[in-house]
């Protein structure tokens, strides 16, 4: 299928971190001070309507500040949200979530990016709930949200629902988030196996989501510092329900982020595309030799017909 026939949105960005650009006073973690920050992030975010749905209730975003100081302080941010609710409620919920998370994260005065992510998720939850209260047609709408921030040597993420974050290193894909679903709880309690959960008829029943309840507990987490060769993958269940982790790893190892997004969406569509499909691929690469030793950012929006 030609790209022009897809209902897709693609965005690509290249961002560079240079030595010392993310040093933080008071860092006690030796792993964050042993080596200088010197890498480039290559990113592609894509969302597709799939083959069955009549609308796309997913929303995506990648924000890379153009201001060097803001880039040093907050890094880059990637978000995937999978909305739910009738009368366009899912589209509204995911859009409000992504817009609120991005705005609140970068506006936060808290120096800790983990707390900034938590605050952003909580504000998104409150904003969606207010929208639903103000419009009865949107009652009950909600959304998942998975957030990744890379700030020099730091990797931070937050998560509500069943959209996922993976880390691919040396060809091995590791799931960093845990699904907030009924079947995941059943697996944890030993009631079913992980393989049974993959095909369980209730696998998409969420235990937590943004916007469905005014009170929500969220916790952001930190992970190992980004290393050259790492690739982070954010995705909605429209991808991982159809494409296995092994296949995701093979694609992101073999392709650049843009081609990886295209290929992963193609695979999900070839297997029925029963849901909206969203994926973000964030690759940590050596900086280009010709680049200048200052933080730089380049972003562009790609027409889905390009690159056919």
Q: For residue range 175-218, what is the model confidence (pLDDT) as tens digits? A: 999 998 777 777 777 877 777 777 777 677 788 999 999 999 99
- Out of 23-37, 70-84, 229-243, least confident range: 23-37
Q: Which of 64, 63, 36, 60 is nearest to 48 (CA)?
A: 60
CA distance linking residue 43 with residue 62, whole number of Å: 8
Strand segments, DSSP code E, in the chain are 8-17, 39-48, 58-63, 76-84, 142-143, 145-151, 154-160, 164-169, 172-175, 221-223, 231-235, 277-285, 297-302
Query: Would you say the C-alpha torsion 32, 37, 42, 45 has a positive or negative sign?
Result: positive
Strands 39-48 and 76-84: unpaired
CA distance linking residue 49 with residue 83, whole number of Å: 13
Q: If pLDDT is split at 50, 70 and 90, which confidence band does 37 have?
A: low
Residue 144 has pLDDT above 60, yes or no: yes
Q: What is the pLDDT of residues 71-113, one digit of tens each?
A: 999 999 999 999 998 778 999 999 999 999 999 999 999 999 9
SS3 (DSSP) at 165: strand
Average pLDDT over residues 13-30: 45
- Out of 89-98, 123-132, 143-152, 186-195, least confident range: 186-195
Residue 239 has pLDDT above 80, yes or no: yes
Residue 30 has pLDDT above 90, yes or no: no
Q: Over pLDDT 70: what percentage of the chain?
A: 81
How many angstroms separate the Cα of 124 from the Cα of each of 81, 98, 101, 142, 280?
Answer: 11, 8, 6, 10, 20
CB neighbour list of residue 180: distance below 8 Å, 6 or more residues apart: 144, 159, 160, 161, 162, 206, 207, 208, 209
Average pLDDT over residues 274-288: 93
Residue 298 has pLDDT above 50, yes or no: no
DSSP letters along 253-290, please? HHS-HHHHHHHHHHHHHHTT--S-EEEEEEEEEPPPTT
CA atoms within 13 A on the CB side of 159: 23
Residue 148 has pLDDT above 80, yes or no: yes
- Out of 19-33, 60-74, 120-134, least confident range: 19-33
Model-wide pTM > 0.75: yes
Average pLDDT over residues 138-165: 96
Task: Give the model's pLDDT for residue 10.
Answer: 61
**Average pLDDT, rounded, for the chain:** 84
Backbone angle region of 181, left / alpha / beta, with phi > 0 → left and psi within -120 to 50 → alpha = beta
CB-CB neighbours of 195 under 10 Å = 9
- In this structure, whether the domain defined by 3-302 belongs to CATH 3.40.640.10 is answered with no
């Amino acid at each position: 299928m030609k790209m022009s026939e897809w209902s897709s949105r693609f965005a690509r960005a290249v961002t560079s971190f240079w030595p010392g650009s993310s040093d933080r006073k008071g860092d006690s973690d030796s792993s964050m001070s042993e080596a200088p920050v010197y890498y480039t992030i290559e990113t592609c975010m894509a969302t597709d309507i799939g083959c069955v749905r009549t609308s796309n209730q997913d929303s995506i975003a990648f924000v890379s500040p153009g201001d060097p100081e803001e880039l040093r302080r907050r890094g880059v941010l990637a978000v995937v949200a999978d909305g739910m609710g009738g009368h366009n409620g899912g589209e509204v919920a995911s859009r409000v979530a992504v817009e609120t998370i991005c705005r609140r994260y970068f506006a936060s005065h808290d120096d800790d990016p983990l707390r900034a992510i938590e605050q952003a998720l909580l504000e998104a939850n409150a904003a969606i709930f207010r929208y639903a209260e103000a419009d009865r047609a949107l009652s009950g709408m909600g959304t998942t949200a998975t957030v990744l921030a890379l700030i020099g040597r730091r990797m931070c993420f937050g998560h509500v629902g069943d959209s996922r974050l993976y880390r691919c290193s040396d060809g091995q894909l590791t799931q960093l988030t845990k699904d907030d679903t009924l079947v995941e709880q059943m697996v944890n309690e030993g009631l079913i196996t992980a393989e049974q959960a993959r095909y369980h008829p209730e696998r998409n029943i969420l235990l937590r989501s943004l916007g469905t309840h005014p009170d929500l507990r969220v916790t952001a987490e930190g992970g190992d510092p980004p290393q050259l060769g790492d690739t982070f993958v954010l995705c909605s269940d429209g991808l991982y329900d159809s494409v296995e982790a092994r296949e995701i790893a093979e694609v992101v190892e073999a392709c650049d982020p843009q081609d990886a997004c295209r290929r992963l969406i193609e695979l999900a569509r070839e297997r029925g595309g029963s849901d909206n499909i969203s994926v973000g691929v964030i690759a940590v690469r050596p900086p280009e030799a010709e680049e200048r030793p200052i933080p730089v950012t380049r972003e562009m929006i790609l027409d889905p017909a390009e690159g056919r």
